[in-house]
Amino acid sequence: MATHNDFGQIAEDLAAEYLQKNGYKILTRNFRFQKAEIDIIAEKEGLIIIVEVKARSTDVFILPQEAVTKSKIKSIVIAANHYLDEFNKNSEARFDIISVLPDKKGNLNIEHIENAFEALDAN
């Protein structure tokens, strides 16, 4: 079995591939600002898409998307605002979550939750 960090990297790679196959242009991955990190920043139809990738080996205790706490949302929003300012992006931003969970056969399933949260949720 892959280690926690390996599984997280695999999940991020799968999420990036999924987005590209669905018409998204990947702008950057693992964007860091202060202590915050955005897993994937993409663009589609004039929107900047901020993507948090959450992977779990099981959903027994919590679904991956439920692990995105208010404090995590706040740090993502701060980093997203910095990215938009730094790269002079005047586009509207959308915040998505991609969850990655193995099924009973060990295949990894991707769930893309568009508009998973808003910047206002950080308050």
Q: Assign residue 42 the CATH number of its domain.
A: 3.40.1350.10
One-letter amino acid identity for 61?
F
Domain that holds residue 38: 4-122
94 vs 1, residue with greater confidence: 94
pLDDT, residue 3, reads 55
Asked if 52 and 41 count as a contact pair (C-beta separation under 8 A), the reply is no
What are 55-83's pLDDT values in tens digits? 877 655 666 667 788 899 999 999 999 99
Query: What confidence category does residue 106 fall into, taking pLDDT thresholds of 50, 70 and 90?
Result: confident
Q: Helix, strand, coil proportions of the chain in percent (round to 5)?
A: 35, 40, 25
Q: Quote the percentage of the chain above a pLDDT of 70.
A: 86
119 vs 28, residue with greater confidence: 28
Give every CB contact of residue 23 below 8 A, 6+ residues apart in sequence.
44
Residue 58 CA neighbour count, 13 Å, CB half: 2
Query: What confidence category does residue 4 fall into, taking pLDDT thresholds of 50, 70 and 90?
Result: low
**Number of domains into which the chain is organized:** 1
Supply the pTM of this predicted model: 0.88
